[in-house]
Structure formats: structure tokens, C-alpha cells
Structure 1
Amino acid sequence: MTDLEYLDRAEQLLLAVEQCCDRINDETDADIDAQRVGGMVTLVFGNRSQIVINQQKPLHEIWLAARAGGFHYRFDAAQNAWVDTKGAGEFFANLSSYATEQSGLKLEFKAL
């Protein structure tokens, strides 16, 4: 993957996260504050817990930090998805799980 391809895909992922937060806030009682600064999005839940998602440009990865730990994702063209570098699943499925755990509400994040 070229640097430009990475940047395009990473931007799509961060935009999808932001749009999912808007949808979730409209459709549920969740109150997720999505704060975007450059290549990083911080999700702040009503209980003040956070999930941080950021680009790691030199490595062509997306990093996610949640209560459950820190995770690294790399785009897999064969799966057309961001997958955990240690085989622990797909980004949006994992984000949904971690956000559900931290918010106490069933939350679903998905790619655009």
C-alpha cells in the first residue's frame, strides 16, 4: 500500500467512526462526544471513559486504545478490512465491542 492509499483508507475509517457516533447519538441514549484532532479521534462516553483511535502513518496502521488495552490494525486488501495485527479481529467489530463494554449500551460501529 502506498502512503496515499493508506491516508485515504485511514481517513475513511476515522470519518466512519465520527459518522457512527452521530448516528448512535441520534438513535440511542448514548452520549458519545467524538473529538477529532488531525489523525486522531477520541470518543468520550457519559461515564468519562475514553477510546482513542489514531493514525500511525509510518507503519500504515491504525491504533486503538480502550479499557481493554491497546490494539494495532493494518488494512488487509483480501478482506477489505482493517484487521488486528495479532489476529484479534476486525476494527469495527472490536470497536463496537469495546464501546459497548465502556458505555454499558449495545453500540454498533461499521465502515461506510
Structure 2
Amino acid sequence: MTDQEYMDRAEALLKAVEQACDRINETTDADIDNQRVGGMVTLVFRNGSQIVINLQKPLHEVWMASRSGGYHYRFDGSAWMDTKGAGEFFAHLSREASAQAGMALDFSS
């Protein structure tokens, strides 16, 4: 993957996260505050916990940090997959956000 292909796909991922937060806030009472600064999106939950998603341009990865730990994702040609087998990015984000929000939340691309 070229640097430009990585940036296009990574930016699309961050935009999808932001749009999912907007949709979740409109359809639930989760009240997720999403803040974007450059290549990083921070999700802040009502209980003060956070999930941070940021781009790692030199590695062509996307990193996610949540209460349960840190995760690295690479695009495999069809999806962003965890480099250590934790699964697809959006499914994993849904599980982590649900745990931190205390309610079922669905993030999808």
C-alpha cells in the first residue's frame, strides 16, 4: 500500500468513527463526545473514560487505546484487522465502546 492509499483509507476510517458517534448520539442516550485533532479521534464517555484512535503513518497502522488496552490495526485489503488477532476494527470498537458506555453500541464502517 502506498502512503497515499494508507492516508485515504485511514482518513475514511476516522470519518466513519465520527459519523457513527453522531448516529449513536442521535439514536441513543450514550452521549459520546468525539473530538478530532489531526489524525486522532478521542471518544469521551459519560463516565469520563476514553477511547483514543490515532493514525500511525510510518507504520501504515491505526492504533486504538481503550480501558482494556492498546491495539494496532493494518488494512488487509478489505478491512482493518488487529495485528495480534483481536479481530476487525469496527467490531472491536463496538465491544470496547459498549463496555465503557454501559450499553450496547454499534460502530460500523
TM value normalised by structure 1: 0.97
**SS in structure 2 at match of 1:46:** coil
Within 2, Cα distance between the matches of 1:46 and 1:5? 35
- Once the two structures are superposed, the pairs formed by residues 74-85 of structure 1 within 5 Å of their partners are 74-77=74-77, 80-85=78-83
Secondary structure at the counterpart of residue 64 of structure 2: strand
Deviation at 1:103, TM superposition (A): 0.4
Pairwise CA distance, 1:11: 0.2
Q: Which residue is 1:33 aligned to?
A: 33
Q: In percent, how many aligned pairs have the same letter?
A: 72
- Structure 1 unaligned spans of 5+: none
Aligned to 1:66: 66
Q: CA deviation at 1:87?
A: 1.3
Partner Cα separation in structure 1 for residue 68 and residue 90 of structure 2: 15
**Counterparts of 2:94 and 2:85, CA distance in 1:** 17
Q: Aligned partners of 2:103, 2:26: CA distance in 1, in Å?
A: 14
5+ residue gaps, structure 2, are none
**Distance between the aligned counterparts of 2:10 and 2:57, measured in 1?**
9
Deviation at 1:88, TM superposition (A): 1.2
Query: What amino acid does structure 2 have at the position aligned with 1:10?
Result: A
1:47 corresponds to: 47
How many angstroms apart in 1 are the aligned matches of 2:7 and 2:105? Answer: 26
Superposed structure 1 runs of 4+ greater than 6 Å apart = none
| CA root-mean-square deviation | 0.3
* 2:95 is the counterpart of 1:100: no
Given residue 66 of structure 2, which amino acid in structure 1 is its aligned partner? A
Task: Look up the equivalent residue of 1:91 and give its one-letter code.
Answer: F
TM-score using structure 2 length: 0.99
Distance 2:104 2:29 in 1: 10
